[in-house]
A and B are shown apart, each in its own frame.
Chain A
Amino acid sequence: NAGVTQTPKFQVLKTGQSMTLQCAQDMNHEYMSWYRQDPGMGLRLIHYSVGAGITDQGEVPNGYNVSRSTTEDFPLRLLSAAPSQTSVYFCASSYSDGRRNEQYFGPGTRLTVT
């Protein structure tokens, strides 16, 4: 299993540009999430999904869109990049059996907006 994969690893955007961060998992996990991690700060939830076709907002959803058309993929779209979106973005997937909900994180995408 490749686990959770993210592309690209690094990206530089100019203010106002749009792009999509890709995330895929091959563990048949129903839950997928996007987090951002700013320098010296914690992991803040952007959007999450509890299954194909179902998405919901997290703590900091503004400026980002998501969709979940398949179990495997959960892309994150930046609509109009701003310098405040400079961060490391982590995608995570998990399987909840009602007792545990262990998050498996991807390697991250480091995004810089100039």
Chain B
Amino acid sequence: AQSVTQLDSQVPVFEEAPVELRCNYSSSVSVYLFWYVQYPNQGLQLLLKYLSGSTLVESINGFEAEFNKSQTSFHLRKPSVHISDTAEYFCAVRTQGGSEKLVFGKGTKLTVNP
């Protein structure tokens, strides 16, 4: 079975500061990795994903995540955050070739303060 650990339940930062949201996973088989963002009172939106190829993936709004197989991690980073980045961020895994279900971490609440 797979599991996802998001080590920080809440991350408060000031505007324009860098941020890293940590995600570690556990799986006996190869996985695909995802970060989803949930803005207040909205559904989840895919932020970025790692399926294969380059281990560094980027989103259109400045976030990036790096897949590290040896450390079983997929941390999310942004060099300079905006107030509009305030949201809940979920890391998720899906096994390659197995069930199509996503297994989510418990989420990290990012709060960007002025």
Decide if A and B are genuine partners: no
Chain A residues near B (Cβ < 8 Å): none
Chain B residues near A (Cβ < 8 Å): none
